[in-house]
Each structure stands twice: as structure tokens, then as C-alpha cells.
Structure 1
Amino acid sequence: MSSSQYETYEAYGPNAGYPPPPAPDGFDVHSAQTLVSGELGRVGARGAGDAPGAGGASGAHGAESVSGAYSAGSASGAYAAGSASGAYGDTYAPAYEGRGAAEGALPRQAGRGVAEGAREEGVGAGVGRRGARRRRARYAERSDSTVRRLLPQALVVAFLAGGTTAFVAKDKAVELSVDGKPRTLHTFADDVTELLAQQGIDVGAHDVVAPAPGTALASGDEVAVRYGRPVRLTLDGTRREVWTTAHTVQGALDQLGVRAEGAYMSVSRSQPIGRAGLALDVRTERAVTVMADGRASTVRTNAATVREVVEEAGVTLRGEDTTSVPGDSFPRDGQTVTVLRVTGSEEVREEAIPFKVERRDDPSLFKGTEVVEQAGQPGVRRVTYALRTVNGVRQQPRKTDSEVVREPRTQVVRVGTKPLPTSVQGADGLNWHGLAACESGGRPNAVDPSGTYGGLYQFDTRTWHSLGGSGRPQDATAQEQTFRAKKLYVRRGASPWPHCGARLHG
């Protein structure tokens, strides 16, 4: 074996630069004994092949030569002596030292090899000890270099291992259920709010999240999200909007506490409720008592109107028959409805329409004097009344129709605005109060039984007009009547009052 070949073998073959793997039970396959034994075997085989008398074997028959060498060694005591004296303790020799020594020590002939075996053994032992020391020094240097080279790599691996441990520790396996659809996912979220944000789930005021947003998360937790759905509920005639997280109508009724047994519903109980919601009309079962023709019957119903309840009770409404509550009203639980049997007729009456009075100022009349220029006339209206008898009792007539037969005529009255004179010369000092008391009892509007004379002083109409009066004397004021009476006295004296004229001087 050449020196370069031996050095390659010494550097552990193709794995140069790395320490050799340990053999089983701690045995080093590259120990000094093993390497020297192998080299001596090869040298001995070559020597035995070259030696005369060894069977003339060439190098091609190394196996047989080796066998012969070991046999010769054993016979001559070379290997036996080595074994007894510890020749296998440290027999390693480098190639550049051991080649010449080994070849010089080995005999060309079998006889010389046997004779000089002991000397070669001693030389080989010394050389082996020096080689072992060099090998150990080189191995120590390679080990130290290897440690320095691998230390940074070990630190990087340790750092990555620590980061991976922290990474794995932050990961959580969480079950997320959205509207009843569960799925398991891995997340680094710290709480429920972060988890919902990562999954793009927006929740509103009517949505339910359990556990509540902000609750810390741990691996194995379950988070449930149920979306709220608007329901436009009409319950027993009362309309309102409610929110539910149920997916079906039946679930919504259960959440809202609505008694559904025997109830009417506008949609099926299994109808799903979408995110947009739905309109739901529910009429629960109620007990209603119907009184008709002296009998009472109680029915359980989910009817929408009182009229439907009466029909369910087997009562027929005829003609003007009605109920004590409006027929289109919603029946309430425990309500009593009375059926009213109505019979009736009509009555036509004529009624007067009062006339209006129009007053007009007249400067030709003294103040306080009013003259009816156009007498008013009432109008006539024809009114129709319904006469009803309810359950045998006559009711107050009810007006059903009205028609004007004649329009009323307005009364026109002239009102005097002329100032009255203060006196009439020749008649101011007379007892006019006594005369009025005698003629009319002191009443300005007095009229005699024949209707010819009127007023305080019982003027006839012709005389009254001749004195400047207008209209009827009994319609004028007491002051004007006294003024006209004084003028009449100046003209004719006391003769117009033949029975009471004497009172003027009394």
C-alpha cells in the first residue's frame, strides 16, 4: 500500500474531516490494533507470496498467501509471541515509516521470516505507539475545529426551535358555528372579537354571540354566532316588529313565547326565516261567548272578526240585526258578544226653519224707534226618522234624511237714529204717566182686544202716522209714544182720550 493510500484510509476514507462512527459496544473500527493487524496481514500476505517455498503464489492469490503467512507466523511463534507479549497493544505504523521497516523486517524466505519475527515485532510496536499519539493529536484538532464550525449552526437551530415553539403555542383550534353551521379552524386571535374580525363576520345589535365579544380564547373553545332576523308580527290584531335568532317560524314562536296550539298562522310553522325576515300574522285560540235570542253559547275560535265568531256560534243575522260590538272588530279572549234583533220603520215630519232678522238704520225715525219693513216668514223642512225596536225595546228616533220644502223669508227692521225732541210747548207740565196708566196700564206694547189701538196711549195707526210716527205705535219706544201724545194734545186737547183725559190735570 502506498503512502497516499494509507493517508486516505487514515483520514477515514470518503468521510474525511468527520470523526468515524463508533462500532458496536464502543469498539473503534479504526483503532491502532485493528489498523496494524490489517496492514500486517496485507504485508505478510505479500511477503509470503514472494517467499520461496510458499507455494509460488503471486500477489493475485493474496488470500492463500495471507493464510500461509498466518500459519507461518503461528508456527514460528511470531504472532504467538506477539500475542503473549502484547504485540497487539499498539502496533500502528504510518505508511512512510512502516513500509521500509516492515519490508526490511520480513524475510524473503520462509526460514528468515521465522527467525527474525521477534525483532520485527519489537520495531513494529515502537512505531505503532508514535503513530497512535500523532493520530490522537490530529483527531483532537479535527474535533475542536468541528465544534467551532457547528456551534453557530446549533445556536440558529435552537433559536428557530424556540420560535417554532412559541408559534405553535399561539395557534388555537377553535370551533366556530355561524347560524348553526359549525367548522373547526386554527387561529392566532386572542379573543372572540379578533376571531370574528379575522373571519370577516360583522355582528349587529340584534345578533347573538356566545361567548360575548372580548372573551379570551383558548384552544378547544366553541364560538357561536346567530344572526338576528326581523319579524313583522301581527299577534291577535296588534302589530309590532320583533327580532329573533330562530331559523324557522316555529323557533321564533318559541323564542317569543307565543302559544301556538290551535292558533291560525299566515305561513307554515316550518317556514324558514331568511336574514331579511318575514311578515307573520298569528291569531291565538280564544274563548268568546255569544248571546242571541235569550241563549248563550261559548266557542273557542281563532277568528279574525266578531262577525266570524257569531257565524261559528251558529247564529244568523237578518235584516237590520247587528251586534253589541262592531262586527269587523277583533274578538278578545273572554269577550261577550250580544246579538241585537232589530225591527223598525220610518216616520216623516215637517219642521219649521227659523227666519233671519235684518236691521237697517233709518234717520227719519227717532232713536229707539224700530219699524218692521218686511215681516219674516219661517221656512219648512221635511225630515225622515228611523224608528227602531231592539230586542223588543223602542229606541230613540234616528234622523236619516232631511229636505227643505220652503226657504224662510228674512224680516227687515228699520231702526231710528233721529234724536228725540226734549219737549213740546204747551204739553210738558201735564200728568202723562197718569194718562198712560189709565189707557194701557203703563205698558208700551199694549194692544186693545180689537187690535185697532196700541201703545201707552192707545193710538190707532192712522193717527199715529199723522203725528209723524211710522209702523205701529206699540212698536215704538215709550219716549216716542209720549212725544207723539204731546203733539196730539197740542192739536186736539184731551178729546182723543174721552175716559182718561181728565188724568192729565189730576
Structure 2
Amino acid sequence: MQFFTRLARPSARTRATSSQTAPTEALDVTTPTPPEGDDTPQGGRKRRLVLPAAVAAGALVIGGGTAAYAQAHKTVTVDVDGVTHQVSTFAGSVDNLLTDEGITVGARDAVSPSGALTDGAVVTVRSAHQIWVDQDGEQRQVWTTALTADEALDLLATRDPDVQLVASRSSGGRPQLALDLSIDGPARVIVDGDMVDVDDADTTVAGALDDAGITLNDLDRVSVRNDVHGHVVVVVQRVVVKDVKRVQKLEYDSSTTQDEDAYEGEESVVTEGVTGLRLIVDRVTTVDGKETSRVEVTNRITRKPVDEVIAVGTKERPVVQPTPSRPSNPGPIGDTTDADSLNWPALAQCESGGNPSIVSSNGLYHGLYQFSVATWQAVGGSGLPSQASAAEQTARAKMLYLRSGAGQWPVCGSRLFS
């Protein structure tokens, strides 16, 4: 955040500040007596000669000087940034008065009036200083000679009624503004959705917040503006910055490869697919609970996706002709006497590895003899073949053999006769 610094100007005297509580100090207006015989000061500026009392009195009488003396002497009021004092002077111009008073005026300072100095005049000096303003969401520095925040806001409002003064934060965390809040009238503090009135507005921003019992957090913002009624309003915005994490899933791709050792229609998973993960961290800024910005600070893959690979069989299934040993008259269904002598364990070992509950990778073939569900039902089976007992599976396999022969098992059927 920006800090306001009031420009210090060299001065031969203690200069009045913009604080309305600064004590009024009577300034020394005695004109120093020049060295004897020297009537020209350094820098070429003429200085008044201080004559001995008798000579001066004679000169005044001779030249009718009483009237001239009275005309040259003036009593004026000097107002420096709201602190006033009276001065008795013989200066003929405002510039000479300020020089005699040791008041240095900067290029941006305001002095009124200018030119010749008259008796009873009020000479006003306003110091220029820089302040931060917020206009249309952008902050910039401007110069002002205003004494108070509401005076500065009134001047700035002629160009933009929505302008705000921005308070900086000191090293101790207290909000600072180069101006007091107001000469008179109350100030209001808006914070956390509430409005708190501060009776004595002739104070600093930090003082107003202290009076209202408001504690600022490290990132809170403080600004000053006028409300629709012209009252000075101190606005405290609660600012929170935090990192928000989110995890994004990365889908994996799937591909197939040909398997010459597997029959057409058979599939097997070669590589299981794994979903990847991406970690994203956003730095989110909220002002009074509303998000104002989001900046991505981390974006990295914490787990790479693994693509799925599926093997698809390409080998044609052979056609096995019925064997001569097939009975010509197998008898009624349920009578498996003619098939009992065949090598059923060898067929089961070839088809399923002897596992009665196994299911092919494509889900089509079940059990010891790799029945399809339709074939299983055709020989009187119910449910899934892989859920039936090994004995029932063998009995129904014998029934299938008696109906259709060993050709039902085109690859392994020959094992029945081993």
C-alpha cells in the first residue's frame, strides 16, 4: 500500500501544520538591526534603516513623517493551514510579509491575496500535498491544498462525484490520511455491513476507527468519501486472500490390439485404464465477501492417466465334424450312459482350466465346458452355467454331446477321446 508523506519545506521558523489541534504560536516580528553603516542586505533586497530615536523623530517632523509612518505600518492576520496569528509589519507586499515571517511557499502552495499588502488584510497560505484517490476503480495521486477530507472531496467532486480518498497503512497498521476528516459535524464509519457514527469528526481516520472500536486486519482497505447528505464516511473493506485447491480428473483413452491366439469375438484386457489427476491452486481475493480476483498459482499433474488396451481375437473358430463314435441312437434326454466313458475332465481342463465358475472375458461363455446361456437352457439348465455345480455342468455337457456331438467344442472336443 502507498504511504502519504507531507513534503517538508525549509523554514527559518516553526511552520504551522494542517492539524486543527495545533496550538497557535505568536511569531516573532522584530526586525533585526543591520550592522552600522550597512544599508543593503544580502541578496540585493533593500532593508529598512533603524535610525537613532532623536534623528528619527527629527526626520519625521521635517518630512511630515507622522502620517507616512502610520501609512507604512500595518496590522494583518496570517493564516497558515488554518492556524492564524496577527502580525505588525511595515512590509509593502504579501511576498515581503511572507519572507519576513520566514514562510517558504512552494510552487503548488496557494497564497491569497497577492500583490500589495494593505492594513487589516488576511493573508491565507495553504500548503499543497499529495493524496491518493480512487476514481473508477483506479488509484492515482493528486495534489490538493484542502485542509480536511470533506473539503478535498468537495473540490474533487466537481470532476467526479464518485471519487474517494484512499488511506494508507503505517508500519504500525494504523490507517493514515494526509487530511483530518472534517472541520465540524459527525463522521460515519461503514464496516461489516453496519454504520457507526463518530460524533467528533475533527480527528484522523485512525482516531475515528479507534472511537468506533474497529480493528483492522492486515489486508483491509480504508477509504473516505461523502454520502448523499454530504457527511464524511469512512469505508472499511474487509479483504481476504486465500489459496483454493481443486482436483481435475484426466480421462484415459482406450485402444485395441489384435490377438492372433484368441478366437474371433473374444476380448481380454491387456492394460487397465487409470484416470489421471491434475491439482490446480487458485489465489482468490474477496472484498467484503465478494470475489474480486482469482489468479492461478499452481497447475500440475499429480497422477498421469494410463490408457486402456483391449486385445481382440482374430483367429477363426475351426469346424469339427461329428466323430464316428457318436451313438446313432442316443436315447432320451437325461440318459447319458453312452457318454459316460468319454474323457470329460480332459475337455473341462482344455475349455476352462477345470474351473466350474469361470466366465470368459466377454461374458458369453460360462463354467467347465464354456456353455453359452442359450445352449445351457437348450439342455434344460436354468440360471447361469457358472453358477451350477460341477456335476450338473458335466451331466448337461453329456446331454449336449448326445444331441450334437463333440463339434460343440471345436477346439477341445477331440480331448473327449483321449
**TM-score normalised by length of structure 1:** 0.25
Structure number with higher relative contact order (C-alpha < 8 Å, ≥ 6 residues apart): 2
Instruction: Identify the structure with the greater helix proportion.
Output: 1
Instruction: Identify the structure with the greater strand proportion.
Output: 2
Q: Rg bigger for which structure?
A: 1
